[in-house]
Amino acid sequence: MRVTTAYCRHRAWWSLLLIVVSAAGLSASPAPTQKPRSGNSRTQVIGYFTENGAKSGRYTVKDVATSCAAALLTTLDYAFGRVDGDQCQIADRETALDHAYGAAESVDGTADPVDANRLRGAFHQLQELKRRYPKLKIVISFGGWGQSQGFPSAVQPDHLREFVRSCVHTFIEGYFAPGIHAPGIFDGIDIDWEYPVEGGVTSGRPDDTKNFTAMAAEFRRQLDAIRPGLLLTAALPAEAKLYKNFELKKISRTMNDLSIMAYDLHWNSEPMSNLHSPLFHDPADPSKAPMDIRFGDYAVQGFLQAGVPARKIVLGVPFYGKGWTGVKDINHGLYQPATGPTQDWGGYRALKALPDADRQYSSTAVTCTLWSGGNFWSYDCPEALRAKMGYIRSHHLGGVMFWELSQDTDDVELLRALTGR
């Protein structure tokens, strides 16, 4: 924790210096950054921040700064905006725009303005975060599990141009509400459509595949018209039967990164405990086809074979666990009958706090398991994340993405494992 805090202070000092000298028309050496991988681009470290966490006060934008996460991330994805009525919308205006943060809750230590039609809320805090960490990219994400029902209609040819225009106008140009104009907070758009054609909470349509490709091209066109360099990314499934519904090579031409959600590969609704985020196949896994190909490397190889450049592939990892209950302590609980799911998702901070737990790291599957009192969890521990970063570098992938920031420990143990800090 001492090293992490010192690093945060060092970065914050450089950020402040850069702002001061820039205002004075001077120049300064750049702030220290992570060592770039081969080529000109930096290894991406993309973390999701949830609006629900901000709303409840459980994890706010200020926590991103004080935990040191902001100094370690390359990109923060704000989850989520809403697609409804063939338009992009702010999902929760009170949280995003209206909530007035006091000085003690604010990133920069000053209270939000109280005047009418002034930017407040989480979006104002993001604005303050960017001023403190000018290298950090902030992206608005749309969709998510159970919130993607608006896409099939919005991307229909008759709706597409105006749909994309609404996203760019509201979130990139910053016309958030009448009287509230604050451009420059968001550096791009992330599409988390779960899922085109099939597999989501709500059914898609057969033409979703080609419409998704057209949507990516239209977003690229309109973003470039505003400013070249704005980000366009997507979170895509790791299951082969789902990612076949994307024209991967085509969309990779117009998108900066394609993140593979290499988690939730086994659900705790299954009657046998299993691994929800393995990187490689475990030969001991009794799963039958097609469940036996649910591991991260299989998806990465599938994306590569489809023609996606390695530098545009981002490997997704979880900061939470999947839990089964009613599990006997045989084989440390792995591949055992279960009576149902545990009552919570088990963020890493909660899993680490469990007393007298039987924790196991599998170097074969590259993931971790935990058995405690009849409950079994599959999750990614620091050892697994360090190994996955080694995989990312050896395969020259674009970087890593994770869901989500609030589920790490207070001293961002998992994020530090990803970045080597």
pLDDT in tens, the chain (421 residues): 333 444 565 544 444 344 333 334 433 333 333 333 333 357 999 999 999 999 999 999 999 999 999 999 999 999 999 999 999 999 999 999 999 999 999 999 999 998 878 999 999 999 999 999 999 999 999 999 999 999 999 999 999 999 999 999 999 999 999 999 999 999 999 999 999 999 999 989 999 999 999 999 999 999 999 999 999 999 999 999 999 999 999 999 999 999 999 999 999 999 999 999 999 999 999 999 999 999 999 999 999 999 999 999 999 999 999 999 999 999 999 999 999 999 887 899 999 999 888 999 999 999 999 999 999 999 999 999 999 999 999 999 999 999 999 999 999 999 999 999 8
Question: What percent helix, strand, coil does the chain show, rounded to 5?
Answer: 35, 20, 45
Q: Rounded distance, CA 312 to CA 137, Å?
A: 17
Domain assignment present for residue 325? The answer is no
CB-based contacts of 416, cutoff 8 Å, min separation 6: 4, 72, 382
One domain for residues 14 and 113 = no
Per-residue confidence (pLDDT) for residue 41, from 0 to 100: 57
Based on the fold, state whether residues 108 and 22 are members of the same structural domain.
no
Contact 275, 335 (CB under 8 A): no
Assigned domain for 284 exists: yes
Regarding whether 129 and 107 lie in a shared domain, the answer is yes
Q: Has residue 186 been placed in a domain?
A: yes
Find where tokens 């366009």 sit: 232
324's tokens: 């089964």
Q: Clarify whether residues 94 and 166 are in a common domain.
A: yes
The parent domain of residue 277 ranges over 41-320+385-419
The Cα 138–Cα 285 span in angstroms is: 39
Q: Say which CATH number the domain at 190 has.
A: 3.20.20.80
**In this structure, what are the phi and psi dihedrals at residue 52, rounded to the nearest 5 degrees?**
-60, -40
45 and 2 within one domain: no
Fill in the DSSP letter of residue 333: G
Two tokens, residue 397? 């992938």
328, part of any domain: no
Q: Do 11 and 86 have their domain in common?
A: no
Q: Is 329 among the domain residues?
A: no
Number of domains in the chain: 2
Asked if 189 and 67 sit in the same domain, the reply is yes
Q: Which of 51, 105, 162, 194 is catalytic?
A: 194
In a domain, 46, yes or no: yes
Exposure on the CB side of residue 62, measured as CA atoms within 13 A: 15
| 184 and 98 together in one domain | yes
Q: What is the DSSP letter of 220?
A: H
Please name every residue paired with 400 in a beta bridge, in sequence order, or none if there are none: 45, 315
* Pair 145, 232 in one domain: yes
Report yes or no on 327 lying in a domain: no
C-alpha to C-alpha distance for 245 and 247, rounded to whole angstroms: 7
Are residue 3 and residue 112 in the same domain, yes or no? no
89-115 burial, b if ≥16 CB within 10 A, otherwise e? bbbbeebbbbbebeeebbbeeeebeee
270 and 183 in a single domain? The answer is yes
Q: Are residues 405 and 259 in the same domain?
A: yes
Residue that the structure tokens 């629900």 belong to: 52
pTM attached to this predicted model: 0.91
CA–CA dist 195, 308 (Å, integer): 19
> Can 194 be counted among the known catalytic residues?
yes
Residue 341 lies inside a defined structural domain of this protein: no
Residue 212 to residue 312: CA distance in whole angstroms = 18
